[in-house]
Structures are given as structure tokens and as C-alpha cells.
Amino acid sequence: MDNQQPKKKVLSCIQPTGTPTLGNYFGALKNWKLMGEECDAAFAVADLHAITVRQDPKEFKKQIMQMYALLLALGLDEQNNIVFVQSHVPEHSQLAWILNCYTQFGEMSRMTQFKDKSIKHADNVNVGLFSYPVLMAADILLYKADYVPVGVDQKQHLEITRDIAERFNGIYGNVFTVPEPYIGKKGAKITSLQDPTKKMSKSDTNTKSFISILDKPETIVKKMKSAVTDSEACVRFDEENKPGVSNLMTIYSCCTGASFEEIENEFASKGYGDFKQKVGEAVVEELRPVQQEMERIMKDEKYIKERMAQNAEIASRIAHRTLEKVMKKIGYVQI
């Protein structure tokens, strides 16, 4: 008799706004494949979330295609995972409206990300920006996700998802799975190459501060060579006193698997020039398979759209079952 426990369900979404950085790759994306092997995982390109900020239509379409191709290039294959585009599954918007009516205004107004983004985009403080966490709750609850990987900036959103689910369940019975934060293998924290006290960000105005997953090899090496270090000329891990060097050591360790002690020994008699060159080359080799696979996929738009359609159908089938149950509980007429 097979007593194997069913895999836990996990959902993870990424917005198609700009190309992810090396920080995103080591902090999350590289671990998604492992997560997809361990769990019954669904991955989504969160394009509905992206329009709280005005997008250029032509560029937006291109970014959605690119992000979807990147998820496929990471090896999130259809045998184990669902990889879909959020807007292709209308149940997300439908459930979001319903959940809006089970979410309190005061709860939304306390969301710190709304306050931060309202200041950043003061000319476009729209209702979508305000109710963004409710759409996120709909994303999660539709797929009965047991776990959701969340960063520090999204922790509050998972908490409100749990509150909404528990409130709805309290009224109508056990409808939603109440999700927990996913604690998988901890991703490495990669900081800015120009200011190692800040995290690496694709929105940084200084392009030398971050490495994009799609940067060309020569660009990667050049950016590494201009990375901030210190005047000691000693490769030693010390985050407090040598943040720049420690950041480069973390990157090198992620690429090669070498420990900090091994890295210190490898570069014991060498200067920062040699060290930065080696780190740059290691990053190039780490990203090469992903870049090559993505380039191959992006040449075939028909294939990308076929995969989108196939996965949207699977995702919609799961999502519709949840939505139907919700609507039946509320009292909507079923046809």
C-alpha cells in the first residue's frame, strides 16, 4: 500500500516589470525549480498586478512574453508545475471583487506598501493600488495554496490573505485553505554593486549597481570590475567592515559552491582586480544556460503562446472549482 503523502500546494507570482536581477535570481528564482520539485507548484506572471503603475502597451506585452519565457527557461516544466499568465485566468478578477466585499477599508488603509507606493506614484494613487492585496489574496486562495514564498515586503499581504480566508470560512464554513509562509532553502541576499548597504534593485538609477539576468557576458564582467570594494586589498568575509567584498564573495559562492574560507584561500595572494574578474566570469557561466534557453524560447512566439494557452486551461480548471464553491456558498444562482 502506498502511504506517500500528497505534495503540498505552493503558489508564487512575479510581475513582468523589468528583467529580474542577479539578486532576484539567487534570492528566489533559482530556488523555484527546487520548490517545484518538492511541491505541487503553480507559478504565475502577475500582469494584472502590474497595471497599478501605467505601462507602455507595446513594452508591457514584450515584458509579459519575456517573463513567461524566463520561467520556462528556469526549468519549471509542465510535468511538475503549472506556469501561467494571471490575466489569462479570469477567475482571479472575479474572486478579487468578491473578496473586496469581505475586506475592511481600515485593513487596506493600514497596508504599508500602499502608503509607500502612494508617495512614490503620487500622480496616480488609483483604487487598484489600494486593493492590490485583495487581488493577491484571490491569487493564493483560488489554488488552495498551503504555502506561499514571501519576502519581507510581502509578509503583510500574506497576513491579510489569512485574515480574509478565516473571515470567509467563519461565515460559510471550510471553503478556503488558510496559507502559511513557505520556508524553503534560504536564498542568498545580494546587495548593490555600487552601494552594498542597499539590496540590488532593477529600479536603481545607476545601472552599474545591478546585474540583469539577461546582461551580456562582457557587460557582467565590466559591472563586476566597477563594483565597490575597499582599500584593504584583502579578500575576507566581513559584512560589517567589508560589505562590498563580502557581497562579491556571496555571489562567487552562489555560482561555484565554494565556502567563504575556500574563497579567502583561493585569493589569499591576489588583488581585487583578479578577484572581480573571476566573480564576473563565474556569474557569466551561472547565467549562460538560462540565457541560452531563454533566447531559444523567445525565437518561437507560437510555442510560447501554446504553452500559455495549455497552462491557462489547467489553471482555470482549478480556479473555477474554487470560485464556483465560493459563489454557491454566498447564494449566487448556478447555471
Q: 192-244 pLDDT, tens per residue?
A: 999 999 999 888 889 999 999 999 999 999 999 999 999 998 999 999 999 99
Q: Does the active-site annotation cover 276?
A: no
**For position 256, what pLDDT does the model report?**
94
Give me the torsion for CA of 45, 51, 56, 59, rounded to 10°.
Answer: 0
Give the pLDDT mean for 91-119.
86
Q: Does the active-site annotation cover 117?
A: yes
What's the 3-state SS for 194-228? CCCCCECCCCCCCHHHCCECCCCHHHHHHHHHCCC
Q: Are 14 and 67 in contact (CB under 8 A)?
A: yes
Give the integer Cα–Cα distance in Å for 92 and 37: 25
Q: What per-residue string of b and e applies to 154-165 under the rule 16 or more CB within 10 Å gives b?
A: bebbbebbbbbb
**For position 47, what pLDDT does the model report?**
97
Which residue ranges does the chain devote to CATH 1.10.240.10? 207-295
10 Å CB burial of residue 70 (0-12, 13-18, 19+) is buried
Task: Give CATH superfamily name and number for 9-187+307-330.
Answer: HUPs (3.40.50.620)
Give the integer Cα–Cα distance in Å for 269 and 85: 50
Is pLDDT above 60 for 112?
A: yes
Confidence of residue 106 (pLDDT cuts 50, 70, 90): confident
- Closest Cα partner for 48 from 89, 99, 2? 89
Among the listed residues 117, 223, 276, 278, the single catalytic one is: 117
Q: Are 192 and 198 in contact (CB under 8 A)?
A: yes
Give residue 173's region: left, alpha or beta (phi > 0; psi -120 to 50).
left
84 pairs with which residues across the strands? 44
Q: How many CB atoms sit inside 10 A of residue 142's CB? A: 26
- The residues, ordered by sequence, that sit 6+ positions from 13 with a Cβ below 8 Å of its Cβ are 43, 44, 45, 46, 49, 86, 136, 139
CATH architecture of 207-295: Orthogonal Bundle (1.10)
Confidence of residue 109 (pLDDT cuts 50, 70, 90): confident
Is pLDDT above 90 for 3?
A: no
Q: Are 52 and 128 in contact (CB under 8 A)?
A: yes
Q: Average pLDDT over the chain, rounded to whole? A: 91
Q: How many CB atoms sit inside 10 A of residue 34's CB? A: 11
Among the listed residues 8, 33, 199, 329, the single catalytic one is: 199
C-alpha cell at 168: 470567509
Is pLDDT above 60 for 1?
A: no
Which residue ranges does the chain devote to CATH 3.40.50.620? 9-187+307-330
Q: How many helices (H) and strands (E) does the chain have?
A: 14, 5
C-alpha cell at 31: 530556488
**For position 129, what pLDDT does the model report?**
80
Residue spans of beta strands (DSSP E) within the chain: 9-14, 40-45, 81-85, 147-148, 180-181
Among the listed residues 8, 30, 144, 202, the single catalytic one is: 202
Q: Does the active-site annotation cover 199?
A: yes
Is pLDDT above 90 for 37?
A: no
Is pLDDT above 80 for 153?
A: no
